[in-house]
Amino acid sequence: MALLPILRFPDPRLKKIAAPVAKVDDSIRKLVSDMAETMYEAPGIGLAATQVNVHKQVVVIDTSEDKNDLRVFINPRLENCTGSQTGEEGCLSVPGIYDKVERAEQVTVHYLDLEGKPRSLTTDGLLAVCIQHELDHLNGTVFVDHLSQLKQTRIKAKLAKQARVTA
């Protein structure tokens, strides 16, 4: 396993569109294991391959208290998004920034598991938010893209300042 560097907003590579995984093989399983280690280490509750500069449709999520419920979504597709909920979101690519985003309350996601088998999951609450947030990454969207231009400008300025301080 290996820790992977996480791209930081507004890195243009976060805007790349991830390609579907053609075959779930050992290289994908290695990527998943590295992504999981990177997510737990950060620590975060979700990570999309886009964030580690791998432009394939792979997402890892663990919203459990005890960090013992790793979920892996390969080639995920959302269906039946219903209702709405608004919660505060953060992102490992946008460190220290949290803001409210409106999401569907309940979603169904179709995906492949680590053996390449088709699966589906219907869920709501935090896990549903996290799935929508991570799938956004695969489409080149970061949660701050859902905020107003004014907020985005402020966030970019704040992150640039942080980068100077830590550089």
Active site residues: 134
Tell me how far the alpha carbon of residue 106 is from its chain's centroid: 17
Residue with tokens 């208290």: 65
Gap between the Cα atoms of 134 and 143, Å rounded = 9
Tell me how far the alpha carbon of residue 158 is from its chain's centroid: 22
Choices 12-20, 89-97, 102-110, 146-154 (CB under 5 A): range interacting with Ni ion:
89-97
User: Are 82 and 46 in contact, with CB atoms under 8 Å apart?
Assistant: no
Residue with tokens 């792979």: 58
- The mark string for 20-59 relative to Ni ion (x by CB under 5 A, - otherwise) is ----------------------------------------
Which residues within the stretch 91-130 sit at the binding site for Ni ion (CB under 5 A)? Answer: 91
Query: How many residues sit in the footprint of Ni ion (CB under 5 A)?
Result: 1
Q: For Ni ion, which is the closer residue by CB, 112 or 135?
A: 135
Q: For Ni ion, which is the closer residue by CB, 91 or 131?
A: 91
What is the distance in angstroms between the CA of the first residue and the CA of the last residue of the chain?
A: 27
User: What phi, psi does 102 have (nearest 5°)?
Assistant: -90, 130
Q: For Ni ion, which is the closer residue by CB, 24 or 61?
A: 61
For the bound state, the minimum distance from the C-beta of residue 114 to Ni ion, rounded and expressed in Å, comes to 22
* Nearest residue to Ni ion on Cβ basis: 91
Gap between the Cα atoms of 76 and 80, Å rounded = 13
Choices 32-40, 64-72, 88-96, 100-108 (CB under 5 A): range interacting with Ni ion:
88-96
Contacts with Ni ion by CB under 5 A lie at 91
